[in-house]
Chain A
Amino acid sequence: LAKTTQPISMDSYEGQEVNITCSHNNIATNDYITWYQQFPSQGPRFIIQGYKTKVKNEVASLFIPADRKSSTLSLPRVSLSDTAVYYCLVGSIYNQGGKLIFGQGTELSVKP
């Protein structure tokens, strides 16, 4: 099972772009890269998912280099409400069945 490594915490200010990088050196061919966001006292919420290159939606962008050994979640112009824990997950139904494997996550703190 691919293990992920991401910074434990990050600080930012409102209006800045935040980039959170996740390392997954042992990613398998079938594995997807997925990011979830979790606010205090709430369940995780899907943000974005990708397999390779770049993915973008209305919330974030995900950059995946050609070797897929890392990925970067980019949050444009963060606000106070983006303060949360961000989890990088790597896996596929072929390699882990139905379970999602969460690491420790990155605790993002956005300051005014």
Chain B
Amino acid sequence: NAGVMQNPRHLVRRRGQEARLRCSPMKGHSHVYWYRQLPEEGLKFMVYLQKENIIDESGMPKERFSAEFPKEGPSILRIQQVVRGDSAAYFCASSPSASGSEETQYFGPGTRLLVL
């Protein structure tokens, strides 16, 4: 049973380019969460999605960042016009149902974004 898959594992972009990060949740999971981990810091929640719906995007920067989880295919975190401060590890997690803390979220290996 494959776990949460993220690709690419490493992504290098120049300032001003777009970054697209993909996340395939575990089989049977319809809830996806994105977190960002800046160097030497803990993980920060960005956005929570169900199929075709954004449930909570309170942690998402207001500009340049967007996320989707279409009916078919992986969840996508999109960062437009990247800046150096976007360099971080981006982790995706999934759960079979709505999860606060009482249900485990399963994390992927992360995508490490480096902006030159």
Contact = CB atoms under 8 A, between A and B. Distances in A.
Question: Interface size bucket, B side?
Answer: 20 to 34
A102 B38 CA distance: 13
Question: Interface size bucket, A side?
Answer: 20 to 34
A53 B2 CA distance: 34
A98 B31 CA distance: 9
B100 A92 contact: yes
28 contacts: A32-B101, A32-B102, A34-B101, A34-B104, A41-B110, A41-B112, A42-B110, A43-B4, A43-B91, A43-B107, A43-B110, A46-B105, A49-B101, A49-B102, A89-B101, A91-B101, A93-B99, A93-B101, A93-B103, A94-B100, A96-B100, A98-B31, A99-B48, A99-B56, A99-B59, A100-B45, A102-B35, A104-B41
